């Protein structure tokens, strides 16, 4: 088993080439799942997006880009949805308007962090739009196209599908398209009778990789803010998911003894279901890293848990969330944020590790633009998140963590140490 199992390639769905269907079709409407609903709560606490970046050289005409976005959105109506309704009756409803292309001024942003990128700070509003596209010409000679999406409506694999669809439209190619209305709960219900009683109790008090600044738990850290960093590994690293988990666990235990566990997302598309969907079609399982665990033993553990359909197990009590107002849950969460993030509690694991599988730069090429790579900004949630994308000759790795974990530069030091450890000795430090 390797990382690709967690983001299995998607077989051509029944809705392939949906743009060629007759014009008359029902309006796209998808129920909002409980997990999506809680994502709205997190979005109220801090900007909870899934943002993907296409980076390359060339000239991009914003009008041509908008026309391609319009065409891709018509074939994938889930990208045009707006939040409608209340409580259990909430729905994602096609608003009929494609995401807007927003051209930014020439920027000193280098695509490796939030620095010099204030345009990323604006939150998407679920009742107005769940996606937009920022066209950013940069002083380093590159153009960066940022596909911003709301995590409550779109997950990581859905975002990649959306990005590749727009690039297909720019090349004038047929679109894969999707009109799936499945949610994560639909998939979990499908496999409910296959899930055995869970005898493996996940760790309840996971120690962090980074120690917070003094007083963070009491609110001295100020308003919640997340940082992110992107680095490149100059070589292929097989089984990076479990190797990264083992390496991070060793760093965590330098802070003291305790349990270590990481959240691992499992993409349902092409794995649990043969259907493409842009919405949240991801399951989650907990990877427990015992002291001295190897990458190989962790891969075996992942395989066993996937065979036991652990990714199809709903979070305890999650279904009751559909009956709770978002504002009420947010009001209850805000006073607890510092404690949850900066102390050891049952609420959060050590962090999350996400493999987005393998991509090729040419998937994002189009006339006048040569793509170098695509990568993501990790979701602003939890204590530490790591996302990586494999390319034929390198790996692109992104990290995110609350700003309180970098008061003495400890977050930056962790990222640098990770890059040095997994890169070849002669080129560690390469970041562009």
Task: Return the domain boundaries, the chain.
Answer: 3-8+27-422
Which pLDDT does position 199 carry in this prediction? 58
Crossing angle between the packed helical segments 240-253 and 410-422, to the nearest 10 degrees:
140
CATH of domain 3-8+27-422: 3.30.559.10
Amino acid 315: pLDDT: 81
Residue in the structure block whose two tokens are 């680095």: 231
User: Long-range contacts made by residues 170-173, C-beta under 8 angstroms, separation at least 24?
Assistant: 170/64, 170/65, 170/68, 170/366, 170/367, 170/369, 171/365, 171/366, 171/367
CA dihedral sign, ordered 164, 166, 168, 171:
negative
Which pLDDT belongs to residue 197? 74
Residues 6+ apart with CB under 8 A from 284: 263, 264, 265, 266, 311, 315
Q: State the Rg of the chain over Cα.
A: 21
Write down the pLDDT at residue 20: 43
Cβ neighbours of residue 286 closer than 8 Å, sequence gap 6 or more: 202, 203, 261, 262, 263, 264, 310, 349
Residue 424: the pLDDT is 84
Give the global pTM. Answer: 0.91
The DSSP result for 267-279, as a single string, is: E-BTTTBS---SS
pLDDT of residue 256: 85
Q: Are strands 351-358 and 369-377 parallel, antiparallel or unpaired?
A: unpaired
pLDDT per residue of the chain (432 residues) written in tens, 0 to 9? 334 445 544 333 333 343 444 444 689 999 999 999 999 999 999 999 999 999 999 999 999 999 999 999 999 999 999 999 988 899 999 999 999 999 999 999 999 999 999 999 999 999 999 999 999 999 999 999 999 999 999 999 999 999 999 999 999 999 999 999 999 999 999 999 998 776 566 777 899 999 887 766 666 556 889 999 999 999 999 999 999 999 999 999 998 888 999 999 999 999 999 999 999 999 999 999 999 999 999 999 999 999 999 999 888 788 888 889 999 999 999 999 988 899 888 888 999 999 999 999 999 999 999 999 999 999 999 999 999 999 999 999 999 999 999 989 999 999 999 999 999 876 544 444
109: phi then psi, degrees, rounded to nearest 5? -65, 135
pLDDT at 4: 40
Q: For strand 395-402 and strand 385-390, is the pairing parallel, antiparallel, or unpaired?
A: antiparallel
**Would you say 207 and 91 are in contact if contact means Cβ atoms under 8 Å apart?**
no
Residues 155, 157, 163, 166: what is their CA dihedral angle, to the nearest 10 degrees?
-100
427 CB-near residues (< 8 Å, 6+ apart): 234
Contact status, residue 148 vs residue 132, Cβ threshold 8 Å: yes
């Amino acid at each position: 088993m390797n990382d690709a199992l967690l983001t299995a390639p998607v077989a051509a769905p029944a809705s392939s080439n949906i743009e060629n269907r007759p014009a008359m079709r029902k309006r796209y409407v998808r129920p909002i799942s409980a997990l999506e609903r809680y994502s709205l709560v997190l979005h109220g606490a801090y900007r909870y997006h899934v943002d993907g970046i296409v980076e390359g050289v060339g000239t991009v005409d914003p009008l041509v880009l908008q026309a391609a976005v319009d065409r891709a959105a018509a074939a994938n109506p889930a990208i045009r949805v707006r939040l409608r309704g209340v409580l259990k009756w909430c729905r994602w409803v096609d608003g009929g308007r494609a995401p807007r292309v927003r051209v930014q001024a020439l920027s000193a942003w280098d695509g490796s962090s939030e620095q010099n990128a204030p345009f990323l700070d604006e939150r998407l509003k679920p009742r107005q739009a769940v996606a937009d596209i920022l066209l950013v010409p940069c002083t380093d000679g590159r153009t960066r196209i940022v596909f911003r999406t709301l995590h409550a409506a779109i997950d990581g694999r859905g975002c990649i599908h959306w990005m590749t669809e727009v690039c297909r439209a720019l090349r004038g190619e047929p679109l894969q398209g999707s009109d799936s209305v499945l949610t994560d709960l639909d998939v979990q219900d499908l496999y409910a009778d296959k899930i055995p009683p869970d005898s493996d109790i996940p760790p309840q008090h996971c120690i962090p990789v980074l120690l917070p600044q003094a007083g963070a738990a009491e609110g001295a850290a100020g308003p919640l803010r997340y940082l992110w960093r992107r680095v490149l590994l100059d070589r292929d690293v097989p089984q990076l998911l479990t190797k990264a988990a083992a390496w991070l666990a060793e760093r965590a235990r330098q802070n003291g003894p305790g349990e270590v566990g990481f959240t691992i997302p499992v993409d349902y598309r092409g794995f649990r279901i043969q259907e493409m969907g842009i919405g949240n079609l991801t399951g989650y399982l907990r990877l427990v890293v015992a002291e001295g665990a190897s990458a190989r033993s962790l891969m075996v553990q992942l395989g066993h848990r996937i065979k036991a359909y652990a990714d199809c197990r709903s979070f305890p009590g999650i279904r009751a969330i559909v009956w709770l107002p978002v504002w009420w849950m947010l009001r209850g969460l805000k006073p607890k944020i510092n404690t949850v993030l900066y102390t050891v509690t049952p609420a959060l694991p050590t962090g999350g590790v996400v493999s987005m599988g393998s991509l090729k730069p040419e998937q994002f090429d189009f006339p006048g633009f040569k793509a170098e790579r695509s990568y993501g900004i990790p979701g602003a949630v939890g204590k530490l998140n790591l996302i990586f994308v494999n390319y034929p000759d390198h790996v692109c790795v992104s990290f995110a963590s609350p700003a309180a974990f970098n008061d003495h530069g400890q977050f930056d030091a962790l990222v640098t140490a990770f890059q040095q450890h997994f890169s070849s000795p002669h080129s560690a430090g390469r970041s562009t």
